[in-house]
Structure 1
């Protein structure tokens, strides 16, 4: 009802919405935003309506999708096309992308075909970052502090002990990274497999609201850890807690340096493990997969030599 009221108010003040057709509510985040599906100028579209507190967040997302769209509208690698931005009423409209979210596709695909999709996901991210890449001095202390705060909120005792060991290894890696450089770029920011939509040979990225300038290996770690903590290992082989061939796909596509392979990517896989805190509402299977991933990550981090 609140969304309907917002729409009615927006239509009364924004002429561009008169011909828009809203067909369904996809998601509501109370106090923040609603995501709706429908038609914009007869094209399938996604409507994002935000509360006043989220206006700046929405403006940032619109700037980012407008920046990257000219670079990523190819046949194979693209982002959802920006269609309209109506800041006075807090509405942004983007193309509704056909296809299946990548993680959803992986679960339904034959096991032997899954690993072949990892180089394609890596190529999508490479395409996204390559126009803004640069090398900057590392600042692991800030990331480490964030991980420490998150680890303190872990509600499961069986995960807390493993995370304490991971944190110790991250402190060791942070010392190795001190004074070095890492590759940064404007990244997706929330690069996980369900933010890539697969449609035949095409991969389309969606949900760019978290995009920012950060180490490229952070986005890579986000993708791999998202699968790992759900038990999705396309190759069936695990290293650093995640899919081993998935790591190799990103190593090859980005031509990761020795420092990136053995220091920054392991560091950010540990950061990802700690900052995504589990909660009591999660199913036992999710917690079990997280425990398996974190234990393997801990052991492989400990084996990394100086």
Structure 2
């Protein structure tokens, strides 16, 4: 819950009343903000609606007028329901209501813990491994929604994004940033144009967007979903491994725990060359490094710890062969 989030309470109440009138739901809902997006170009907030009976719903709202993604995401939830209902343990959030003006939608609340929460406070290494196994299974099912298409993969976007990040933020470690960017560029040359299947993809598959309940893994947030190379979703989730404590000997050439990769691919059944996978993992970690502000590291102990972990992971990754 975001205790001090500012929003128009009267507007939110009118949205709740619109839903209740349309759905024939009587009674009272309490409204609490649980998330505010930091994405550029959006003014998005997420609210938990708790009914007096105990039922909880989730309202997602874009406060910028004229945005089409709220309706698009809701329609994707509808379209994907039958596909995920055919899977015993994998689900997508259940759509409930789309606003008349398409500025908000309501879904059922997903019971469980985020994968992020489990990775930050695991009960054992085995529990960490199961997070990646369950994530692999969920993503494999999503990527099977429509037939894959042949695609060639290009890496220039990585370096364009690194350049933008370096321009927007004072890079905290110029020495490491320059050295690793140069090495990554050299490594990309032999990989440009490599085959990689194009699939229906989540587009933002990090560990906050997977809820793990009792026997059920449920995906959230399809705002960026589209057809794209499958490796991007895979690398996004595996990069969540940096929140997990690990010894240097446990880290593979992509900068993540070998065990995390192993358990992910027990259930995600598309394969990639080691070089393609490790390149994209290194790129993800380097992008995370490039987006850390100097002020954050100076003022925030958690940011300092995250920065130190990223540097250690990158150092270990780049000390190994890319195809290792």
Cα deviation, 1:231-251, whole Å, max 9, x if unaligned, reads 445998211211111112334
User: Could you tell me which of 59, 83, 108 is aligned with 2:96?
Assistant: 83
CA distance in 2, matches of 1:21, 1:117: 33
Superposed CA RMSD: 3.0
Compare 17-26 and 241-250 and name the one that shifted more.
17-26
CA distance in 1, matches of 2:247, 2:71: 36
Report the Cα offset of residue 37 of structure 1: 0.9
Could you say if the C-alpha distance between residues 161 and 242 of structure 1 is closer, same or farther in structure 2, counting changes exceeding 3 Å? same
Cα deviation, 1:143-165, whole Å, max 9, x if unaligned, reads 3322332244453443x322323
User: Could you tell me which of 219, 224, 244 is aligned with 2:233?
Assistant: 219
Contact 2:246/2:257 (8 A) holds in 1 = yes
Please identify which structure carries the higher helix content. Answer: 1
CA distance in 2, matches of 1:272, 1:54: 32
CA distance in 1, matches of 2:152, 2:51: 45
Aligned to 2:8: 3
Contact 1:114/1:234 (8 A) holds in 2 = no
What are the equivalent positions in structure 2 for 1:1-306 lying under 5 Å apart?
2-10=7-15, 15-16=21-22, 19=25, 21-29=29-37, 32-39=43-50, 43-53=55-65, 55-73=67-85, 74-88=87-101, 90-106=103-119, 107-132=121-146, 133-158=148-173, 160-228=174-242, 230-233=243-246, 237-239=250-252, 240-257=254-271, 260-276=272-288, 277-279=291-293, 280-281=295-296, 282=300, 283=302, 284-300=304-320, 303-304=321-322
Cα deviation, 1:56-101, whole Å, max 9, x if unaligned, reads 2212322322222221134411111111111516110011011111
Report the Cα offset of residue 285 of structure 1: 1.1
Report the Cα offset of residue 263 of structure 1: 2.5
Report the Cα offset of residue 299 of structure 1: 2.1
Q: TM-score, normalized by length of structure 1? A: 0.85
Compare 89-98 and 13-22 and name the one that shifted more.
13-22
Aligned length: 300
Compare 123-132 and 84-93 and name the one that shifted more.
84-93
CA distance in 1, matches of 2:249, 2:49: 39
Could you say if the C-alpha distance between residues 95 and 2 of structure 1 is closer, same or farther in structure 2, counting changes exceeding 3 Å? same
Please identify which structure carries the higher strand content. Answer: 1
CA distance in 2, matches of 1:29, 1:142: 23
Which structure 2 segments of 5+ residues have no match? 1-5
Which structure 1 segments of 5+ residues have no match? none
Q: Per the alignment, in what secondary structure is the counterpart of residue 242 of structure 1?
A: coil
Q: TM-score, normalized by length of structure 2? A: 0.81
